[in-house]
């Protein structure tokens, strides 16, 4: 069965960096797309980005483009979300997600994928 587990969250100061990991099981990350979304308190889920299972292409939301990158290690079935130049608005619970789709589609749609992990908290402080 599909399982996703995020790790690497924590507290960081404005301008700092964090790397989140998503450990996947029950499917191959080099075959199906894996995406990330986040949810801040009192706000709707926001799709952040996706890495394609077709060719490893990555797609990022405008709000994080230039600051976040997505990558994967196929041999370990891991997907990473590298977050640099963090700002206060990045504070949220971050989730990795998949839906047995090979391609990514529209980044904002990843919030509707069927499978997701329990999430990991990221807190950015001034």
Q: Which two tokens stand for residue 75?
A: 């041999």
Can you give the pLDDT at residue 13?
A: 98
Instruction: Kindly list the distances between the CA atom of residue 63 and the CA atoms of 26, 37, 47, 122, in Å, as whole numbers in the listed order.
Output: 31, 12, 10, 16
> Does the pLDDT at position 111 exceed 90?
yes
Instruction: Kindly list the distances between the CA atom of residue 102 and the CA atoms of 22, 24, 48, 60, 109, in Å, as whole numbers in the listed order.
Output: 17, 15, 18, 17, 14
Can you give the pLDDT at residue 100?
A: 86
Could you give the percent of the chain with pLDDT greater than 90? 99
Mean pLDDT for the stretch of residues 43-64: 97
Q: Which residues contact 122 (CB under 8 A, 6 or more apart)?
A: 9, 10, 12, 18, 20, 38, 83, 86, 90, 91, 92, 93, 94
Could you give the percent of the chain with pLDDT greater than 70? 100
Mean pLDDT for the stretch of residues 75-101: 97
Mean pLDDT for the stretch of residues 43-53: 97
């Amino acid at each position: 069965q599909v399982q996703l587990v995020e790790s690497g969250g924590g507290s960081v100061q404005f301008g700092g960096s964090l790397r989140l990991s998503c450990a996947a099981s029950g499917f191959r990350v080099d075959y199906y797309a894996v995406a990330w979304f986040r949810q801040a308190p009192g706000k709707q889920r926001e799709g952040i980005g996706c890495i394609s299972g077709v060719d490893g292409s990555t797609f990022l939301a405008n709000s994080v483009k230039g600051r976040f990158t997505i990558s994967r290690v196929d041999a370990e079935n891991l997907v990473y979300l590298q977050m640099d130049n963090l700002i206060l608005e990045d504070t949220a619970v971050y989730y990795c997600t998949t839906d047995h789709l090979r391609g990514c589609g529209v980044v904002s749609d990843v919030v509707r994928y069927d499978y997701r992990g329990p999430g990991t908290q990221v807190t950015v402080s001034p």
